Structure 1
Amino acid sequence: MILCFDIGGTAIKVAEAYSADKVIPKGRVATPTDDFDAFVAVLKDEIDNANTQPEVIAFSMAGVLDPETGVANMANIPCLTGRKLQAELETILGLPVVLANDADCFALAEATVGAGRGHDVVFGLILGTGVGGGVVVRGALINGAGGFAGEIGHGPITQRIIDDPAVTLPAFECGCGQAGCLDAICSARGVERLHHHLHAIRQDSPAIVANWEAGDPAASQTIAVWIALLAGPLAVMENMLGAGIVAVGGGMSNSPALIAALDVAVRDRCLRRFERPLIVPAQCPVEPGLVGAAILGLQHYKTIAA
């Protein structure tokens, strides 16, 4: 059995996994963000209360690990930042530990039991509070130790002059410290920022998308600009990776019409001509962070048991 944890800034979700398609959620507890001892105590309680002794502890985490040093950077969980987390947890818990960033776990889940089944290369795209991603090649993460590959949301690449509709944009500041990142303008918060910039209207992203679906002119312009900003970088990513499918998760993926419109725009810009959808909503039936962690744990168990 693989005991899985999806570690977020607010809650820790827990599951027991016996295979990629048998991941059983066990509930959630509040995340001790500032107290490492309390964080470890939560993990020990879940291990003690598991139905059977786990073979591996697997984590999906809202952050990244330096691929060379193993040092964690978890912006919303300060007590984990700066630690060589895998080594520390293995020592404390006395069990094998695997960790991956949540976007990577999402991508792995989609490649294995979601929209990416049957494709050699899968790009998992997060369009939610932020813009993120992960890459899976032939069933394995392309960067098993880091969590940086696929992070299309960061880097000063956002187009500032749009021809259709004709708009000139500032380079919006991003939480990563740069300006002009897709994360700053194409995430859910970014759409809200864009809408306010274009129309001086403050609305949340679900309302903007719903108004776009209803044909509202202001929302239609906002979404047209959003698609123009995002489609080009996604087409470049597709040209680099040759992904068979791009599975989209996060709050923005709740609108099938929005993802379909983005898909048309991306396919129009790709070198490869697709006669089928490329950008599709995620399909993983269980929490993808837990499923992705489970898959990593199962893969690691096969390695150590061989």
Structure 2
Amino acid sequence: MTYNDDDIQFLGGEGFKPSQPTDKQQPASRRWWKGLVLLVILVLSATTFYFWQKAMNRTLAFDYPLSRTSTEVIRDLEKMPTDTLQGVTMKVDSLYGVGMRLYELHGLTPTLSRTAPSDSDSTVCLVTHGWDFYWDENHQYKYIGDFIYQGKEYASNHNKAGFVIIAGDKWQIGIGQDDSIKEYVKAHNGSMFRQFALVSAGQICERQFALKGKVTRCALARKAGSTAIWYVETIHNESLYDFAQALADYGFTDAIYLTGGNNGNTFYRTPTGSSCGVADWKEYADNLLIFKKQ
């Protein structure tokens, strides 16, 4: 028998395409396993989403008593009396080994600033750090938590239950997570930021304590029945728990955290105009809370 080139074909050569099984050709058992795997993936995804949502709800929930409703905070802000005494008085005290410097703020209004005030500005009576922030991957400044400046909202999140609100020459600290406070501030071209609640209605808010370790601590605090607001800082490094416990036992009804610590020799101006401490805010002016005479 003789052959020519046209009679011989090589399997696997150029142009060779082995037949592919179609879905209809796949065994029934294989299709069944694919369906089972898909079902398991869907169930796991749904379960993960369910528990993630529950975890988020637990994070957002503030399960502590409130000394005032949002309506009452706004009422107290609008009725905040004018203090003819303008400046800061300071005293040192301690409780359970937690040393504190307590600054009572008389007739002052805070402003939010990312620029350090002038050393020659005689209206400045105390400067501290306020809100939390971060720089993103594009080196853009980002606020953490609700942040409003002169009526414009720059960030929205109420995980941190404490807040400072400013409207005109009046201001208040408060605790709560509903949005009525934020809407009031925007409607009145005011300013606002949020921070961790340390004490609410005399009870320490341990589940708000996201920061660990011991460093110098700062807070704004108020007592029930008083229009005065205090700036309080620790003398030594303290945990948030010990600081909050000292504030509550000292008689403060509400207290909110302020970031940044202190230098141990905080600048303040007395009602008589005397300057005390050291003004060291120029190198860290990204989140300043500046208290000025009205």
Taking structure 1 as the reference length, the TM-score comes to: 0.24
| Larger RCO: 1 or 2 (CA < 8 Å, sep 6+) | 2
Give the structure with the larger strand fraction. Answer: 2
Structure 2 length normalisation: TM-score? 0.25
